[in-house]
Structure 1
Amino acid sequence: VAILLTRHDICRATNKCDTLGLAELGTLCDSKRSCAIIEDNGLSAAFTIAHELGHIFNIPHDDERKCAEFMPLNKANYHIMAPTLEYNTNPWSWSACSSAMLARFLEARRAQTQCILDKPVERRYYERMFENPAPGEIYSVSQQCKFVFGAAAELCPYMPSCRRLWCAVSYGYQMGCRTQHMPWADGTECARQMWCYMGQCVGMSPTQRLPVDGSWGEWRSWGDCSRTCGGGIQKSYRDCDSPRPEHGGKYCTGQRVRYRTCAIHECPWDMPGIREQQCAEFDGKILEFMAFLQSAPDGSQNFLELLKMNDVYFIVVSLILRRFTKLRDKVIDGTPCDRNVDDICIDGGCHKSGCDHRLGSDMRRDVCGICGGDGRTCREVKGVFNERGTFGYNEVLRIPAGAANIDITQILCIN
C-alpha cells in the first residue's frame, strides 16, 4: 500500500476543504489503486492513515447501513471508521462493524486478499517500533499545536487535557481556541507524574507498558446450519482475547473460524435450486439506485448462469433487456460454486466438497449419476436415425424414463 502525505489542503469541492484523507474501498491487492492520500495535520495524521487503510481493507464508515447488522448506528459507536471526527469519536479502537467487515474480507481468500500472503522482506521497523519513546515524550503539547495550526499556536489553557487537543490561535489582534477533535499524543505529560494514554490522564508512563502477547480463547458453540438440505455449513468462532494483545504484543496466529457440514440429505427433486431461491427473494421488489450491467462480469447472458466467482451474484431485472445488478456481497454458505460441480461457497470463497455434501470429500458421481457408484447401475441406450424423414414428427429413438446425460449429435449432413 502506498501512502502520500501532503501539507496541501484536500478539497472535495470549492470551499469544501475539510477532507483529511482519500482512499478507495477494497483495493488492497490492486497494484494501481492500493493507495491513499493523507493530509498531514500533525501527529494525528496517524489516525487518518489508519482510517484510510481501513477503506483499502474494505471497511465502510461506522454510520453506513451495512453496519446495522453488527451494532446500533449511533455516534456512541463511532471509532476509527467514523465518517467525521467529532467530540464523541473514539479513534483508538475499531468498532464491532469494522472488526466483522475486516474478518469477512480476509477470510474469503479471494483475489483481493491473496497479496498479503507474501512473506515480508523484513519486519525490523515493526519489531523496534514499540521500543521507541512514545510520541508525546518526543513532542511537547505546545509542539503538537504548532504542527496543526502553525508556528504561533500554543496550548489553550482553558480546556481539559488529553481528550482533545485545543490550541490557542490568533485571529488578527484576538486569540481563540480551536480543535480538530484529535487527542493529545500518547505519552504527553498532563500532570505531575501523569501522562496521556488513549485520551485519559493516567499515572503509568509509556515505559511501564510492557508488551502482552495475545492468546486464543475457547471455541464457541456451533452456529445454525446455513441450509435445510443439500449440504449446509455450520461455523464456530474463537477470539484472541485470553489475553488480548496489548502494547505491541503479538496477535494470535491460526484460524479464527472453523466449519463443518450439516443437512447433507438431498433436497426434494421439485425444490428450486439454492441460487434460484436466493434470486427469488428479490422478485417483485423495486431495485432503486442500483447500477445495471449489460451482462454479468463473466460474460454470461443467461439469467440463471450467475457469476461463477461466488463472492457476488447477479440477477436479471428484465428478461428483454437482460440487465444484471449486484444484490448481495456473497451467496449463502453451501451454495455450489458453479453448475454441475460439488464444490461449495463458504464466506465468499470456493471450497472443496464431494457429492456426499461433506466438506473436503473426494466423493464423485459415476456415469449413472450415483454418488460414489461404480457405473454398474445404469445402461447405455443409443440409436442412429439415417432414414429420410417425412413431414411432421418422426420417431428417432424412444428415451426411457429417468434417462440422464442425453447427447444428440448430427454426424453427417447430406443434401
Structure 2
Amino acid sequence: MGNIPRKGSRDQVVDSAKSLEDGPSAALHWKLYEAIMREDCTTIEVLLRYHPVNQPITILPNSTSNRLLLSQPTESIIPIHLAAKYHKAQSLLCLLRHGADPEVSTHSRDTTGLTTLNLMLLHWPVTSTTWAKPGNRMHRILTDIQNSAIACLRILCAHGAQVNAQGEISNKSSPLHLAIAYGCYPVLSILAQNGADVNAINEASMTPLHMAANMLNKEMMEVLIAYGANVNCAVPSTGNTPLKLAVCTASSKAGRLLGAGVSCIHLLLTHGAKVNAQDYKGQTAIHEACFGGREAIINLLLEFEANVNILTRNGESPIYMYLQRSFNLRDTALLARLLYHTYPLRMTNNQGILPAGIMLPEFRLLRDTLIKQSRKPLSLQDICKRNIRNIYGEKYKWHLKQFLPVTIWNSVYCCYDLVYTS
C-alpha cells in the first residue's frame, strides 16, 4: 500500500520532474535514486519519462538529503543495477516493465562486465536465521532481507535474465559458479529451475559441483546433484573429480581439525562417484586420503571398495602415500588396517625411493620390518584371502558370511596376515 500515491501526488511529481527536465541532471538523478530505494513505483514511472531507463544515474558525494543510502555512492549506477544491488523487488519489477535491460553491463573501474544478475549475486545477503532466535526482531529482519533477494532473483529470471551467460569477470564463471563462490545457497535451485546448466564449466574447466565439493558445502552439493550434476566429471587439465577434490579438502589439516567432509564424501559415493577414478598423475581418492591419514575417510573409501593396490604413474601405492608422513606412522592400528588389504607391498616408487616419513630414525625398526615383508612373498592361501577381502570389501563382509563355512570366513576376515610393531 505504500506505493499508492495520495490524491494529487502524481501531478506533483510530474510538475517536479518537468521543472528538472531543463535543469541540472543531478537533482533528477537523486530523485530517481530515492524513488528506487523507497520502492515508490509511481514516482519511478514519472521520472523515467525524463531519464532513459538504461542510462546510469550519478549521485554526487555531497548530496545532503541522503536518508536511504546504505553506503555513499561515488560512481554512476544504472537504475536496474541499483534495484538489484539493494534487493528492491518492486522497483526492479517496475524498471523491467518500463524497458530495463537485465543484461545491461556495468563499466565502472572495479565492476566491468557485470550484468544485473552478476551484481545481485555479488551482493547477495550473507544472512543466517540461526544467528537469532526464531520469532525475535533480528530473526525477522534477516528473513526479510533473504526473502527480498530471492524475490528479486525470481523477477529477473522471469524477465529473461541469462542464467547460463559467462561473464567477463571471475574466470568467465556462469551465475551458478558465482553463486557457489559467494555462498548464495538459496540461488542454486532457482537458477536450476530456470534452465541453468548444472554441468557448465568455467575457465578452469570446473563445474559447479567441483567447486562445491572442494568447499565441502553439502547443501549446495545436494541441490546440484538433485538437478543432474555429473558426479564423475573430471577436470581435463588435472583429472580431478568432485570426489577427489572433496577427499583432498577433508584430508587437509583444516579438514582434520574441523572434522569436516565425511558426509560430503558419502553423498558423492552414494550417488555413483567412481571411487577408483584416477587423475592425470594416476592418483585416486584413496591415495589422497592415505596421505592425509584421516581414518574416517580411509574407512569410508574402503567400505565403497577403494583399491588399495592401485599405483600412480610414478609407482606409488596408497600405503606408500601413507608412509610419506611421519604423523601417520604413529597410528599403528590404521597402518595395520591398510596392510591388511595390501598386496603386493611396494615400499619404493618407480625411482626406487622409499617414503620420506619412514626414513626418520625413530621409525628404523618399522622400516626394516616393512622392507623385509615386502621382499617376502605371501603364501597362495594368504594371497587368496587378500583378493577376497579386496573384491568383496567390508561392504559385503557380512553378506559373504552367509555363503562361506565359518572356518573359511574367519580365516579371511578375523586374522591379520601381516603384523608389524614399531
Give TM-score, length-normalised by structure 2. Answer: 0.19
Which structure has more helix as a fraction of its residues? 2
TM-score of the superposition, structure 1-length normalised? 0.19
